[in-house]
């Protein structure tokens, strides 16, 4: 599906410049050098393209950060977290621009739900990170919001001013800020009550064992014979009939973690098997 990829890449460029609404299918097809019909052979609609685009990048973003968080010692955890996040932002700056611009502004129902879903995944990641570092501090949920605030603001600067940006330095600065807040703050805004209230008003989309198997199945079909495919097959067996040592599973997950098409399924499996340094 080289055509799908082409469309996605070119469309992303236009979306980043102009936004979803303001970019017409016509414009996309012209920019790709294909016909309108060809577009609709690849994607059923403009909306489908947008949703596919969102999935493609958010899955990478989340799974990259997740891997980093799960495989870093506490000492450098905050630094690595920020670094990984900003790294991905810089690599996929067009997508990041698009997300910032479109933010909550989307009124398309499906799109909104998807965004919220990935948003919650990121939040969950941050929560576990904080719990690992600071335990059940009273300002746990304040720290979550604070970290998100840092990420928002500095991501905006990174993307919309062409500053000579030193991500290493930024990450060091932000992890100091986070630690300082964690150690010295005494007045939380989020009470347990309020955070429960927010949690309740969420749609929790848990991914079931069946769904994971489905995604696994599909990825197995996509790949040709390779270490990755082998690993996926073994991991499938392991889900259906758990037999192996956790070290073996960890190794199998390691095999697939950096393959672009496997990142997401690796993320899902890490969570399924409860794998991680914590």
Partner DNA sequence: TATAATAATGACTACTCGGTCATTTGTCAA
Partner DNA sequence: TTGACAAATGACCGAGTAGTCATTATTATA
Q: Which residues lie near its own copies (CB under 8 A)?
A: 17-19, 21-22, 100-105, 107, 142, 145-146, 148-150, 152-154, 156-157, 160-161, 163-164, 169-170, 172-174, 176-177, 180-181, 183-189, 194, 197-198, 201
Report the nearest approach of DNA to the CB of residue 2 (Å): 9
**125 alpha carbon, distance to own chain's centre:** 10
Looking up tokens 């991501």 gives 155
State which residue, 194 or 227, has the beta carbon closest to its own copies. 194
State which residue, 97 or 259, has the beta carbon closest to its own copies. 97
State which residue, 71 or 116, has the beta carbon closest to its own copies. 116
**Whole-angstrom distance, CA of residue 34 vs CA of residue 77:** 46
State which residue, 2 or 187, has the beta carbon closest to DNA. 2
Looking up tokens 């309108």 gives 36
Binder of residue 40, out of its own copies, DNA, none (CB less than 5 to 8 A by kind) = DNA
**Whole-angstrom distance, CA of residue 153 vs CA of residue 145:** 12
State which residue, 35 or 246, has the beta carbon closest to DNA. 35
Report the nearest approach of DNA to the CB of residue 36 (Å): 4
Whether residue 81 contacts residue 69, with contact meaning beta carbons closer than 8 Å, is answered with: yes
Whether residue 242 contacts residue 252, with contact meaning beta carbons closer than 8 Å, is answered with: no
State which residue, 37 or 274, has the beta carbon closest to DNA. 37
Binder of residue 37, out of its own copies, DNA, none (CB less than 5 to 8 A by kind) = DNA
State which residue, 21 or 131, has the beta carbon closest to DNA. 21
**Whole-angstrom distance, CA of residue 149 vs CA of residue 88:** 17
Site size with DNA, rule: CB under 7 A:
17
| Secondary structure (DSSP) of 138-194 | TTHHHHHHHHHHHHHHHHHHHHHS-----HHHHHHHHHHHHHHHHHH----S--HHH
Among 42-50, 188-196, 243-251, 264-272, the segment contacting DNA (CB under 7 A): 42-50
Max Cα distance, the chain (Å): 61
Per-residue DSSP letter, 187: -
Among positions 44-83, residues that touch DNA (CB under 7 A) are 44-47
Binder of residue 201, out of DNA, its own copies, none (CB less than 5 to 8 A by kind) = its own copies
Angle between helices 77-91 and 167-184 (to 10 degrees): 140
The binding track of 1-40 with respect to DNA, each residue x by CB under 7 A or -, is --x-------------------xxxxx------xxxxx-x
Report the nearest approach of DNA to the CB of residue 14 (Å): 11
Beta-carbon contacts of residue 26 (< 8 Å; ≥ 6 apart): 36
Looking up tokens 């968080």 gives 69
**Whole-angstrom distance, CA of residue 150 vs CA of residue 78:** 12
Whether residue 257 contacts residue 266, with contact meaning beta carbons closer than 8 Å, is answered with: yes
Binder of residue 157, out of its own copies, DNA, none (CB less than 5 to 8 A by kind) = its own copies
Q: Which residues bind DNA (CB under 7 A)?
A: 3, 23-27, 34-38, 40-41, 44-47
């Amino acid at each position: 599906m080289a055509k799908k990829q082409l469309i996605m890449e070119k469309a992303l460029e236009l979306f980043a410049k102009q936004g979803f609404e303001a970019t017409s299918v016509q414009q996309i097809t012209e920019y790709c050098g294909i016909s309108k019909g060809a577009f609709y052979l690849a994607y059923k609609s403009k909306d489908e393209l947008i949703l596919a685009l969102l999935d493609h990048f958010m899955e990478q973003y989340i799974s990259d950060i997740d891997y980093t968080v799960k495989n870093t010692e506490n000492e450098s955890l905050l630094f690595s977290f920020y670094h990984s996040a900003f790294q991905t932002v810089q690599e996929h700056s067009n997508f990041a621009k698009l997300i910032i611009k479109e933010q909550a502004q989307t009124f398309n129902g499906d799109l909104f739900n998807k965004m919220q879903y990935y948003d919650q995944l990121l939040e969950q990641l941050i929560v576990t990170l904080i719990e690992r570092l600071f335990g059940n501090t009273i300002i746990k949920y304040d720290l979550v919001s604070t970290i998100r605030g840092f990420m928002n603001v500095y991501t905006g600067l990174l993307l919309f001013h062409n500053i000579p940006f030193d991500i290493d330095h930024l990450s060091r600065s932000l992890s100091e800020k986070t630690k300082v807040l964690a150690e010295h703050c005494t007045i939380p805004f989020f009470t347990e009550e309020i955070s429960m209230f927010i949690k309740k008003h969420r749609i929790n989309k848990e991914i079931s064992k069946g769904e994971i198997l489905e995604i696994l199945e599909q990825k197995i079909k996509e790949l040709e014979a390779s270490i990755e495919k082998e690993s996926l097959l073994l991991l499938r067996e392991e889900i259906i009939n758990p037999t192996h040592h956790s070290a073996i599973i960890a190794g199998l997950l390691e095999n697939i973690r950096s393959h672009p098409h496997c990142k997401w399924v690796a993320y899902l499996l890490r969570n399924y098997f409860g794998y991680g340094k914590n």
